[in-house]
Every structure is written in structure tokens, then in C-alpha cells.
Structure 1
Amino acid sequence: MLPYQELAQLNKLVHEPARLSILTALSACTMAEFLFLQDLTGLTKGNLSSHLTKLENAGLVAVDKHFVRQKIPQTTIRITSEGRAAVENHWKRLRAIQEKVLQQGANNGKER
């Protein structure tokens, strides 16, 4: 399979830029508060919430909603072990595809 065809085989749930950003950010920490994650990713509240719902339904993140001092809502998000594996595998596959493309370029396209 050509590396360009492999790109089409990537996990679309993880590959979507906003979700990849969320998963990559969460993989670098234990957990993140919603507003911090929003600031980090640059997503709107609604957009972040929508992507988190998709990731949570897939079992890639866990979302915990609770109240601080019984009045202030706080939402924390953490990546699950499945989510960590998915994002690590995704970046690994992207690097492998990139390496194949670079090798083909070095071979002047002679390898097929």
C-alpha cells in the first residue's frame, strides 16, 4: 500500500484535528480542567464539548463534572488507557507514513 493510501486508513475519530489536539494535550498530563483545555486547544466551549462527547463515547477520555464549594461547576477530563494507546499509535503511524514518503522521495520514486 502506498503511504498516501495509508493516510486514508487512519482512525478518523483520532485524526480529526480538534480531537487530535485534545488527545495530544491530555496525553501530556494526568488530567485537565475544561477551561484550561479550551484555552490550550483554542476551541469554543460548544466545539470542545461536542468533541469531548465523541471521545468519551468512544472510551478515549473520561469526563468528570462536579461542583467546587457546592456552587461552582467544574469539569475535568483525563485520557483513558485506550485513548493514550490510540493517540500514541496514531502519531506512530503518521511518523511511519512520513518516513515512507521521504524514502520514496530519496529514491526518486523508483520504488513502488
Structure 2
Amino acid sequence: MAGLDPLLQHPTRLTVVAFLGGCIEAEFSAVRDYCQVSDSVLSKAASALEEAGYLSVKKGYVGKRPRTWLAATRAGRRALADHLGVLQQLAAAAEAAGRETESGQP
């Protein structure tokens, strides 16, 4: 498990950063709906990601209605890429070990 980002091991935080990695920024409600979580769950995840420098939060208004936009930072995108790379390595190593075991090789 060395190399995995502990912050991104939480499914909601991983999903948030992955979703935001595909866009410049997204409105809070779009991220919430994609992740299929409540406002409070997303707010908590966003706070942790912002504190780590993986996410930026921008507040403003559309007309008179308050809005919040979330965006992955460069550090967040890099952390996601690194985390996914380690997961791919782990999966490849496990698959290779499974093939060796199946063929009777240690």
C-alpha cells in the first residue's frame, strides 16, 4: 500500500477529485449529484481536500442566489494521477501473482 495517498483512499474524496479532474471547475450541486452524496458529506470531503491543497473553493452569486464552485488544483490532479498509478501497479502485481500461483510457480 506504499505510495497510496491516504486522503484519496476515501471513496467520496477520490470520486470528487476524479470528477473535478475532468473539468475546469464545477458547481457544488453538480459534484454532489455526481457523487450521489448529501450536501454535508460533500462539504466535509471538500473541506479535507481544500485543507490538503487538492481543491479550491470559490463562492459567489448567480443573480441573488449564493453558489459554490469547486476545482481540482494542480496538486490535486498530480495526487490523483500518482494514486491511480500506484493502484494500477498493485493490480498488475496481484494479477501476475495470481497467474504464477495458478501455474504452480511460487
TM bucket, shorter chain: over 0.9
| Aligned twin of 2:21 | 27
Counterpart among 73, 83, 90 of residue 97 in structure 1: 90
* TM-score, normalization by structure 1: 0.87
Whether the 8 Å CA contact 1:104–1:110 is kept in 2: the answer is: no
SS of the residue corresponding to residue 66 of structure 2 reads strand
Answer whether contact 2:27 2:67 (CA < 8 A) is retained: yes
TM-score by length of 2: 0.92
Secondary structure of the residue that 2:56 maps to in structure 1? strand
Taking only aligned residues, the RMSD between alpha carbons, in angstroms, comes to 1.4
Determine which of 41, 47, 58 is the counterpart of 1:64. Answer: 58
Give the fraction of aligned pairs with identical amino acids, expressed as a percent. Answer: 31
Distance 1:58 1:99 in 2: 29
- In the TM superposition, residue 9 of structure 1 has moved relative to its aligned partner by 5.3
CA distance in 2, matches of 1:76, 1:53: 13
Q: Which runs of 5+ in 2 are unaligned?
A: none
Structure 1 segments of 4+ aligned residues over 6 angstroms from their partners:
none
List per-residue Cα deviations over 1:24-71 (Å, max 9, x = no partner): 1000111110000010000100000010000000000000011122x2
Length, aligned pairs only: 104
Q: Which runs of 5+ in 1 are unaligned?
A: 1-5
CA distance in 1, matches of 2:87, 2:74: 20
Instruction: Give, in angstroms, the shift of residue 110 of structure 1.
Output: 3.8
